[in-house]
Chain A
Amino acid sequence: MNRVCDAEGEVDIVSEISPADAQRVIESEHAHLVTIDAMRIVSGLINRDRAYMNDVWVRKALNLAVDKERLISEVFQGYAHPVVAMSPPYSGAPTDIEPYPYDPDMAKRLLQEAGWPSDRALVLATTSDVAPIADYLAESFRSSLGIEVDLVSVPDEGLAAAQKALVEKKIPQHFDVLAHAWFDLAAGYPPAVIHREYHHSGGAFRLGSPLEMFEDLMGRSVVETNAGKLGDLGRDIDRLTHREALSVFLCCPMALVAVNNHVNFTGHAATLELAETSVDEGHWSRRNEP
């Protein structure tokens, strides 16, 4: 990042700026910050194969236990959007449902009524890329639910094996919730890449029995060639995902890009696209033009 913020001629565009570094880019002499409402989502992947996690009251309790506004303002420095379920608000999300509110009292009550043992710790897993989010979740679950949380970090060198085990589903996963980041390849129908991966019978990240209604909606989607009807099915899938609290719904992080001041860069929601990129006559690569 030094090479785009503090110098010219070495690096013109740096993607994946962290929220913590955004202000540095804004204040830099040579670069500016481009923010993109990206096709990205972070959530808590719920392992419904584990005891108590197949209980919708438990899953709702987890959602009610997290102050998402504070997560966005503190962990993401404001560079994220609230989300109702798993569809980004700018990509086909239903507008007739609200995010689960932050309600620790209700969360605690639901967990108790579900019979959660007082000595049963919640196992929260994370990878290094989402570690700050997992830390925030652990603190939220402890303080809101009054339970112990065992935070388990997957080491970077073990990431590939852990991913393989998750996708293959042959080895039982020993976590209740996994802090997880994912993406979509295009806007308009998030279930194709997001909901399907987390909750469909063929999904790479599904942990728990397939849901009959979910399977039915996805089955109808894959043969629906009318874009309007496909969008309606996508919203139905998101409503079902919300109603069943199939994940801990968190937020949609923005993509942040540091760009040299002489470069005109157009941010794209689903990719890093350079086709429209141009440079002005003050750019280092053009200063010696005849």
Chain B
Amino acid sequence: MAQSTQAAASWKAGDAPVGEVRVVDPHPLNWLYVTWNTMEEPVRTDERGEIVGACMEDSHWEGSTLVVKVRDGVRFQDGTTLTSASIERAFDEVQKWVAPHPPGTYLNFHPDTTVDCPDDSTIRFNFPEPDGLALAKFRGFHIASDRFWDESGFGGKVYGTSEGHW
């Protein structure tokens, strides 16, 4: 894959990317690495692999509800803004699947989980019981623009279902 990059010293947030790198990645998980490099998730991992916030700025538990504060100023490739509604849309789209993740169903949210968005910056995940792996599951919870879901999704618009068409 080729990807635009930033220049080392002078680049600052908001500047256009500078330069180009060409990458050869024969790892069997390349499909996942491409996804992680091109889509948003609530969390990402830092250099040491520790989970840190991405489009999720912060979170806390209220009983079995995980309250997520959405980071301001995140935009998709089409210029639209990522809000709590974007996360709700991704949740609604993915919850339709029996097996949304190639690595296995252990990354699924409980089927009885619900979400609500009190405002653009807050989303509440109401789990039927506390989910100790919720933040780890967020790593595989891909957030996309409405255009992505409306025009292709993960193959759903082409095949009629996204199941098995990651």
Residue A13 lies at the interface, judged by CB distance under 8 Å to chain B: yes
- Selected from A192, A202, A273, the residue in CB contact (under 8 A) with B136 is A192
B104, CB-defined interface residue at 8 Å: yes
Contact B129 A11 (CB under 8 A): no
User: A50 to chain B: which residues have CB within 8 Å?
Assistant: none
In the complex, which residue of chain A has the Cβ closest to the Cβ of B138?
A186
**Among the listed A3, A185, A283, which residue makes an inter-chain contact with B140, where contact means beta carbons less than 8 Å apart?**
A185
- Check if A270 sits within 8 Å of B3, measured CB to CB: no
B131 contacts across to A, CB distance below 8 A:
222-223, 225
Tell me whether B21 and A12 are in contact (CB under 8 A): yes
Contact with A along B100-130 (1 / 0, CB 8 A): 0001101000000000000000000000011
Is B19 touching A225 in the complex (CB atoms < 8 A)?
no
**With A188-B51, A267-B47 as given contacts, are A278 and B6 in contact (CB-CB < 8 Å)?**
yes
Is A277 an interface residue, CB under 8 A from the partner?
yes
In the complex, A269→B51 CA distance in Å?
11
**Which of B25, B48, B132, B136 makes the CB contact (< 8 A) with A272?**
B25
Least distance between B57 CB and chain A CB atoms (Å): 17
Complex CA–CA separation, A183 to B140 (angstroms):
15
Which chain A positions have C-beta within 8 A of B29? 183
User: Do the beta carbons of A185 and B47 come within 8 Å of each other?
Assistant: no
B151-165 near A? 1/0 per residue, CB < 8 Å: 000000000000000
Q: Is B18 an interface residue (CB 8 A)?
A: yes
The distance in angstroms between the C-alpha atoms of A12 and B4, with both chains bound, is 12
**A268–B51 alpha-carbon span in the complex (Å):** 12
Q: Please determine whether A278 and B8 come into contact, CB atoms closer than 8 angstroms.
A: yes
Chain A contacts for B26, CB-based, 8 A: 15-16
A112-140 interface code vs B (CB 8 A; 1 in, 0 out): 00000000000000000000000000000
Answer whether A222 and B133 are a contact pair too, CB < 8 Å, given A12-B23, A278-B8: yes
Whether A14 pairs with B24 at a CB distance below 8 angstroms is yes
Cα A167 to Cα B92 with chains together (Å): 29
Query: Given A10, A183, A204, A269, which contacts B45 in the complex, CB threshold below 8 Å?
Result: A269
B7 CB-CB contact with A under 8 Å = yes
Specify which chain B residues have a CB less than 8 angstroms from the CB of A91 in the assembled complex: 49
Do B106 and A202 touch across chains, with their CB atoms under 8 A apart?
yes
Tell me the complex Cα distance, A120–B61, Å: 55
Q: Give the CA-CA distance A193 to B107 in the complex, in Å.
A: 10
Distance (Å) between the CB of B128 and the closest chain A CB?
11
Does B69 touch A at the CB level, under 8 Å?
Answer: no
- Bound: A275/B47 CA distance, A: 11
Q: How far is the CA of A270 from the CA of B139 in the complex (A)?
A: 11
Query: A171-195 toward B: CB 8 Å interface, digit per residue (1/0)?
Result: 0000000000001111111001100
Interface assignment of A263: CB less than 8 Å from any CB of chain B: yes
Contacts of B61 in A (CB 8 A): 225
Interface mask (A209-253 → B, CB under 8 Å = 1, otherwise 0): 000000000000111110000100000000000000000000000
A-contact bits for B1-20, CB 8 A (1 contact / 0 none): 00101111001000000111
A28 located at the interface, meaning its Cβ lies under 8 Å from any Cβ of chain B in the complex: no
Indicate if the CB atoms of B139 and A264 lie closer than 8 Å. no
Pair B22/A225 contact, Cβ less than 8 Å: no
Say yes or no for A279: interface residue by CB 8 A criterion. Answer: yes
A15 contacts B11, C-beta separation under 8 Å: no
Interface string of A44-62 (1 = CB under 8 A from B): 0000000000000000000
Q: Is A285 an interface residue (CB 8 A)?
A: yes
Further 15 A-B residue pairs, CB within 8 A, beyond A4-B24, A269-B49: A14-B24, A15-B26, A185-B45, A187-B50, A193-B103, A223-B130, A269-B45, A271-B33, A271-B36, A272-B37, A277-B6, A278-B6, A279-B7, A279-B18, A286-B7
Return 27 A-B CB contacts under 8 Å, by A number.
A11-B22, A13-B23, A15-B25, A37-B48, A186-B51, A186-B136, A187-B48, A187-B50, A222-B133, A224-B130, A224-B132, A225-B131, A269-B45, A269-B47, A270-B49, A271-B32, A271-B45, A272-B23, A274-B5, A274-B21, A274-B37, A275-B37, A279-B7, A279-B8, A279-B21, A285-B19, A286-B18
Q: Which 8 A-B pairs have the closest CB atoms?
A: A187-B49, A269-B49, A279-B19, A270-B49, A224-B132, A285-B20, A12-B21, A278-B8
